[in-house]
Amino acid sequence: MSRAAVLAGVGGYVPPRVVTNDELAQRLDTSDSWIRTRTGIARRHVVDAGTTTGDLAVEAGQRALKNAGADGADLVIVATTTPDRPCPATAPAVAARMGLTDVPAYDVAAVCSGFVYGLQAGSAAVTAGFAERVLVIGAESFSTILDPADRTTSVIFGDGAGAVLLRAGERDEPGAVLDVHLGSDGSMADLITVRGGGSEERSRGGQPRPGDRYFRMDGKSVFFAAVRRMAESSRTVLSRTGWEVADVDRLVGHQANTRILHAVADQLGLPPERAVLNIERVGNTSAASIPLALADAMADGTLTAGDRVLLTAFGGGATWGSATLTWPDLPVG
């Protein structure tokens, strides 16, 4: 049998503070109806002052370990666009806070595709024999980089974290990561970006330009690029896995926008009810969205053992990726 990375545990966490559409409408030119119609979002969770991405990551990581019945991991990967600091990476501190002070840990920066990128890296580490157990965490405090006056982004994003524990196993086991496809196109870097804070800004000298510290997104262009790339990547990974589209029981896409997820399902020829959705309750949590959706879908029974699952995402960079696995029998609660 061939060695493979097997999903052994899942955990999700969102901060307690909830921001509803009506609350946003009190300070922005918007309404609950406008937001729901265009995004499918009713509420989102945001961090309180003093709570960091690392705090969310630790909580989700601990829940994934508990779900797996494991006491640790040999490698920790944190996918995030909102690290606690520009330097150093957030992952080593997260690992240390979990009692994992002697293991390698690093960040992955692929924005909303970050979890799929991290899943590929973790799976490859297990397959190559570098690690026996890998903790892959997607964590974001996106509210900290949003322009509070920009309704096009403020209504979409939320904060949270999700995590999975991968363990060494066999490819024919339920939960084995069967294949991962990744892609990028740097010519689309300006579609999703925070221009300030890096060497590009600092090398110019002078004062930072107003607004460069905030997240910006060309929503219309992102919509079309996301649907196209997620559908293409999904077809590629399905072909490499040996699955037909009809074989897919659940499509767990990056929770960017309900219309995007339904459009991807339509492009693939999947019934919309096979798409897992939790965006209404948590918004777009970027790198955290897929593992959070997995945790929620497992908890409410949407995902059951034996389901053939397709993951897919599109994010800044531009980056995209997809993965396939058969859902394992994991404890709920």
Residues with active-site annotation: 112, 254, 284
Enter the tokens of residue 295.
């945790």
Pairing of strands 133-141, 159-170: antiparallel
Residues paired with residue 321 on neighbouring β-strands, in sequence order: 182, 313
C-alpha pair distances (Å), 80 with each of 31, 36, 141, 237, 253: 30, 26, 9, 24, 17
Contact 233, 116 (CB under 8 A): no
Place of tokens 């929503």: 219
Q: Give dist(CA 256, CA 237) in Å, integer.
A: 20
Instruction: Provide CB contacts within 8 A for 233, sequence distance 6+.
Output: 181, 182, 183, 312, 320, 321, 322
